[in-house]
Amino acid sequence: MVQHFIQQMQSEFEMSLFGELTYFLCLQVKQMEDTIYISQSKYAKNIVKKFGMDNGGHKRTPAATHLKLTKDENGIYVDQSMYKSMIGSLLYLTASRQDITFVVGVCARYQAEPKMSHLTLVKRILKYINSTSDYGILHSHSENSMLIGYCDVDWAESADDRKSTSSVCFFLGNNLISWFNKKHNCVSLSTVEAEYIAAGSSCSQLVWMKQMLKEYNVEQDVLTLYCDNLSAINISKNPIQHSRTKHIDIRHHFIRDLVEEKVVTLEHADTEEQLADIFTKALDVKQFEKLRGKLGIFLHEET
């Protein structure tokens, strides 16, 4: 069938480079029986080299747990264009390295006025990349093709304006396919509210992915979204307009509608099982490596 398609294409256009997918947009793809391994090791090595960190130290985590970035008004200015190009390179690396999504996202906020403290953190990320450049996502085959989302929020995370950050990841079967970490654009008064905003944006993602999967003839039942805040789950189920939730009523109705139509259901997940944790805060080595493994980032041995 593929041969037939290639012939068809060749008759119409001038073609080159066919073959199994191996390298695409800096993504190295390795197809094996039952598994697909995606990595950006070449790209990662390149950026580490480009910013002169290839002789730097090695770190096991991308960020220190105690460090909290602020605007750092009195700090020393650093070269903005270099900072920006570092962030840009790292942002593309998150295409296959979700473990650095959180830190890169935090550093990216200070691109307008980068200070020494911010640059130090970016350099630490590069050191971490240096030691883990060969890591990549491993997708494996499974009978289960359920779409699951995990959403978590760090309430009032930003020390500058006290806005919260939501972090969401989605699994298809046991493969991580999508994730994001996003600072809210409004201040939430309570954790429930923040959690609810995060749930709202993840629901719209879920619905999009459900439609996409339909095109691949993969049908989905009720989509499950795990979040670790019981009050948020209760609000989605209980149709009572609470005075505390009045000002978030657009999202409120959006989620409630989806829940009533049985498109999405919100479930509770313990903090232990909350996989989106890695996107919300800097973790210690033990927890970080455990979660990273669960997300499917492995070092693939050359065979």
Partner 1 sequence: MLHAKRLPYRFWAETMNTTCHIHNRVTLRTGTTTTLYELWKGRKPTVKYFHVFGSKCYILTDKDYKRKMDPKSDEGIFLGYSTNSRAYRVFNSRTKVVMESINVVIDDVPDEKVPDVDPDVRTYAQETNVLVQVNESEHEEEEIEEAEKDQVSTSKGPSIRVQKNHPQELIIGDPDQGITTRRSIEVVSSSCFVSKIEPKSVKEALTDEFWIEAMQEELNQFKRSELWDLVPRPEGMNVIGTKWIYNNKSNEHGTVTRNKARLVTQGYTQVEGLDFDETFAPVARLKSIRLLLGVSCILKFKLFQMDVKSAFLNEYLNEEVYVEQPKGFVDPSFPNHVYRLKKALYGLKQAPRAWYETLTQFLVNQGYRKGETDKTLFVKDDNGRLMIAQIYVFFMECRTRWFNISFSKCSLSLR
Contacts to partner 1 by CB under 8 A: 1-2, 5-6, 8-9, 12-22, 24-25, 29, 31, 34-36, 38, 95, 139-142, 145, 172-173, 175-178, 208-209, 211-213, 215-218
Which DSSP symbol is given to 180?
E
Give the nearest distance from C-beta 201 to partner 1 in angstroms: 14
Nearer residue to partner 1 within complex by CB, 46 or 174: 174
22/70 with CB nearer partner 1: 22
The CB-of-234 to partner 1 minimum distance in angstroms stands at 31
Q: Which is nearer to partner 1, 248 or 276 (CB)?
A: 276
Min CB(26)–partner 1 separation in Å: 11
One-letter-per-residue 3-state SS of 35-57: EEEEECHHHHHHHHHHCCCCCCC
**Residue 31: CB minimum distance to partner 1, A:** 6
Distance CA 119, CA 196 (A): 33
Going from the C-alpha of 223 to that of each of 196, 208, 272, the distances in angstroms are: 17, 12, 21
Q: Alpha carbon 214 to chain centroid distance?
A: 23
d(CA 80, CA 88): 12
If one counts every other C-beta atom within 10 angstroms of the C-beta of residue 3, the result is 8
Looking at beta carbons only, is 80 or 211 nearer to partner 1? 211
The residue among 38 and 203 lying less far from partner 1, judged by its C-beta, is 38
Closer to partner 1 by CB, 78 or 91: give it.
91
Number of other CB atoms surrounding residue 5 within 10 Å: 10
3-class DSSP state of 62: coil
Give the shortest CB-189-to-partner 1 separation in angstroms.
31
Instruction: Report the C-alpha gap between 91 and 107 in whole angstroms.
Output: 10
Least distance CB 293 / partner 1 (angstroms): 18
For the residues of 70-105, what is the DSSP string, one character each? ---TTSPB--HHHHHHHHHHHHHHTTT-GGGHHHHH
Nearest to 116, CA basis, from 82, 159, 165: 82
Shortest distance, position 92 Cβ to partner 1, whole Å: 9
Q: Which is nearer to partner 1, 11 or 55 (CB)?
A: 11
Angle in degrees, CA 53, 55, 61, rounded to 5: 65
